[in-house]
Amino acid sequence: MRGLLDTSVFIAGEQGRALAAERLPDEAAISVVTLAELELGVHMAADESVRAGRIRTLRAVQTTYVALPVDGDVASAFAALVAAARRAGRRAKVQDAWIAATARAHDVPVYTQDDDFDALAVDVVRV
């Protein structure tokens, strides 16, 4: 694995936002948190057409990528990343901190369209 894809990569496709696909790694995985965020989007869809699109995205992600679990190494990385951010006076979103921790534990960068990872000491590739 050469990178961890953030949820924003898949939402970009759903919403038709431009994605620098040439910057994506040849080998990628996701965090289980990304699955949870995508499934939450299904549950929160305002109408059936939006829900159907989100279900398609969720199913495609589930069948294409390995979802890395939260384990002891990821939990330790989470604690270290969040503590460092707080000591620096920065706040990180909890879901993003878990995704960043997964990347840190597996020693790979996070591929994202968001600036949410700026508060966290993790390698980021903007796509």
According to DSSP, the residues that pair with 30 across neighbouring strands are 67
Annotated binding site: 6, 96
User: What is d(CA 46, CA 3) in angstroms, rounded to the nearest whole number?
Assistant: 32
Q: What is the largest CA-CA distance in the chain?
A: 44
Opening angle at CA 22, ends 38 and 51, nearest 5: 20
Annotated binding site for Mg(2+): 6, 96
CB atoms near residue 72 (< 10 Å): 8
User: What is d(CA 121, CA 37) in angstroms, rounded to the nearest whole number?
Assistant: 22
